[in-house]
Amino acid sequence: MSTSFALALSAAHDAAAGQHYPQAALYMVATPIGNLADITLRALHVLQLVDAIACEDTRHTQTLLRAYGIDKATGSLLALHQHNEVQGAQQVVQRLQQGQRVAYVSDAGTPGVSDPGARLAAAVQAEGLRCIPLPGASSVTTALSVAGTIAPAAQQGGFVFEGFLPTKGAERSAALQRLAQESRCVILLEAPHRIRELVQALAPLGCRPVTLARELTKQFEEISTHRAHELAAWLDGAPQRARGEFVVLLHPTAPQEDRTQGLDVLRQLLPELPTKAAVKLAAQLTGVPRNELYAAALQMKGEG
């Protein structure tokens, strides 16, 4: 443990110890997604306080705790991952019924979002027991905060969190086709060994902007936005770009019916106005992104 974290533990006690931490409660604790400093003071205090910690990987969590100078007996760490959620949840429920405080942490980030934890929370609440969230790091909101995803004019904002796509070919293709029709921002997660396959599958989206965020909060963090059909070329531009865990954001786009209307308006304006002026006016009238209309205008002129 570094001196910095020794000071953090002391600060955690000063800031959080005076708050109320009920017994017979499950504490869902967010942990860093890469940078160890991205831990909250309340999380440090609760991890010291609880009687047991349920976690995806006990070895990983023990290493994390030791980095912060938190000493927990091996027997107080309970394995609870996607392969034993039902049995693990019952073990946690039994401890809570005995009046214990139990924390749950995933390997990184906020439990229950994409990592295991949702079934555990549901099981605890089904027994009438309390589940207390401790907010913190999340790769989803971290990437979203810097991607600059802006919905076209007059379109509802928000985003759709899809997480990891199915790994089987047919199911994966069906999911991608469905998401291609989604006009809101779509957030995907992807592993390094499948990122090339994903960007190739996104290429038919053409000019739709896509942000790739990899190794978030780590030393080699990289966040880059490109048109969908340019992603494969960017990924091939340097070997390291395919390494690390990815958050992939499909930027908002106009709904299909608006795009059709935008193309119709553009087709009527092009014979009367210069290309840039026609594109600008069509975008203002229909809300379809200018870059999409400009690419369509060049294609129309070529065909003409």
Q: Could you give the number of structural domains in the chain? A: 3
Quick one: 34 and 117 in the same domain? yes
Could you tell me the strand order of the sheet in which 159-164 lies? 159-164, 185-190, 246-250, 209-214, 222-227
On whether both 84 and 204 belong to a single domain, the answer is: no
Q: Mark whether 179 and 228 lie in a shared domain.
A: yes
Q: Specify the pLDDT at position 55.
A: 95
Q: CA nearest 102: which of 135, 70, 78?
A: 78
pLDDT by position in tens, the chain (length 304)? 456 799 999 999 999 999 999 999 999 999 999 999 999 999 999 999 999 999 999 999 999 999 999 999 989 999 998 888 889 999 999 999 999 999 999 999 999 988 889 999 999 999 999 999 999 999 999 999 999 998 876 567 789 999 999 988 889 989 988 998 888 999 999 999 999 999 999 998 888 899 999 999 999 999 999 999 999 999 999 999 999 999 999 999 877 666 787 888 888 999 989 999 999 888 888 777 787 788 888 888 876 6
Is there a domain that residue 68 lies in? Answer: yes
The answer on 21 and 112 residing in a single domain is yes
Domain containing residue 184: CATH number = 3.30.950.10
Instruction: Clarify whether residues 166 and 123 are in a common domain.
Output: no
pLDDT at 2: 57
Does residue 177 lie within any of the structural domains?
yes
Identify the domain boundary among 82, 106, 137.
Answer: 137
Predicted confidence at residue 296, as pLDDT, reads 86
Judgement on whether residues 240 and 260 belong to the same structural domain of the protein:
no
Domain shared by 14 and 129, yes or no:
yes
- 152 occurs within a structural domain: no
Q: Where are the alpha helices (DSSP H) in the chain?
A: 3-16, 41-49, 58-67, 85-97, 118-126, 139-147, 169-180, 195-202, 231-235, 256-269, 275-286, 290-303
Look at residues 137, 168, 192 and tell me which one is the last residue of a structural domain: 137
* pTM for this predicted structure: 0.82
Do 118 and 165 fall within a single domain?
no
- Range(s) of the domain holding residue 99: 3-137
Instruction: Evaluate whether residue 153 is within a structural domain.
Output: no
Instruction: Residue 19: give its domain's CATH number.
Output: 3.40.1010.10
Q: Where are the alpha helices (DSSP H) in 17-52?
A: 41-49
- Are both 88 and 205 inside the same structural domain? no
- The pLDDT value given to residue 264: 86
My answer on whether 42 and 108 are in the same domain is: yes
